[in-house]
């Protein structure tokens, strides 16, 4: 099994663990970054957006709630002889209300997120609205030093205020 196939298998298992943990609270889940783009390396982490209802307050409490997802996945990976380092999970936790409030995090997701779970279309709808708004503004992702930055409104005038 090649590297990409191994990541795909891991994502399927991960989604099953997320569904078991969050149940009907799970609104959506997306993978982004190199794994989302389908260009992972052996040492790539798995950048995840998890959208769920009724999340605990605070990042640490959300991470603690998520901990039962990691242990079974790492046990399986070790048993299967995963090449190189075990991939780290890098989850971001948001409620639907926090997604709607927006975040710079979502800018790159417009380009490279792959939705793994979105039964009601919430996440796809949000990203599509953001994609349309960026197009209205003439926004573009500009390559720079091996990465990129966003130019959100190229024709911005001094003192002008805009919203995404």
117-157 per-position pLDDT tens digit = 999 999 999 999 999 999 999 999 999 998 888 999 999 99
Question: Could you tell me the CA-to-CA distances from 18 to 22, 32, 44, 97, 147 in Å, in that order?
Answer: 6, 16, 20, 20, 30
* DSSP letter, residue 25: G
| Residue pLDDT, tens place only, 8-40 | 888 998 999 999 999 999 999 999 988 898 888
132 or 72, higher pLDDT:
132
% residues pLDDT > 70 (the chain): 95
Give the span between the Cα atoms of 149 and 144, in whole angstroms: 7
Neighbouring C-alpha atoms within 13 Å toward the C-beta of 151: 9
Q: Write down the pLDDT at residue 114.
A: 96
**Does the model's pTM come out above 0.85?**
yes
73 or 8, higher pLDDT:
8
Q: Write down the pLDDT at residue 51.
A: 98
Average pLDDT, integer, range 27-55: 91
Question: Could you tell me the CA-to-CA distances from 10 to 14, 15, 77, 79 in Å, in that order?
Answer: 6, 9, 8, 13
Task: State the pLDDT confidence band at 95, using cuts at 50, 70 and 90.
Answer: very high
Contacts of 84 (CB under 8 A, 6+ apart): 42, 43
Q: What is the mean pLDDT of the chain?
A: 90
pLDDT of residue 85 exceeding 60, the answer is no
Cβ pair 63, 20 in contact under 8 A:
no
Contacts of 105 (CB under 8 A, 6+ apart): 49, 92
Q: Which domains does the chain have, with CATH numbers?
A: 3-132 (3.30.460.10)
Average pLDDT, integer, range 81-89: 68
Task: State the pLDDT confidence band at 4, using cuts at 50, 70 and 90.
Answer: confident
Give the span between the Cα atoms of 71 and 91, in whole angstroms: 14
Cβ pair 46, 32 in contact under 8 A:
no
If 0-12 CB within 10 Å is exposed, 13-18 middle and 19+ buried, where does residue 110 land?
buried
| Residue pLDDT, tens place only, 99-123 | 999 999 999 899 889 999 999 999 9
């Amino acid at each position: 099994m090649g590297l990409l196939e191994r990541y795909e298998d891991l994502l399927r298992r991960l989604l099953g663990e997320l569904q078991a943990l969050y149940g009907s609270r799970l609104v959506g889940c997306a993978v982004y970054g190199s794994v989302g783009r389908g260009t992972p390396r052996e040492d790539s982490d798995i950048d995840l957006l998890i959208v769920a209802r009724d999340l605990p307050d605070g990042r640490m409490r959300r991470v603690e709630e998520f901990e039962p997802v990691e242990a079974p996945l790492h046990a399986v990976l070790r048993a299967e002889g995963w090449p190189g380092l075990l991939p780290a999970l890098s989850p971001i936790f948001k409620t639907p209300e926090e997604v709607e409030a927006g975040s710079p995090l979502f800018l790159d997701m417009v380009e490279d997120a792959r939705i793994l779970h979105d039964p009601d279309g919430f996440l796809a709808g949000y990203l599509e609205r953001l994609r349309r708004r960026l197009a209205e503004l003439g926004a573009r992702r500009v390559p720079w030093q091996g990465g990129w930055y966003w130019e959100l409104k190229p024709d911005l005038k001094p003192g002008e205020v805009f919203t995404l």
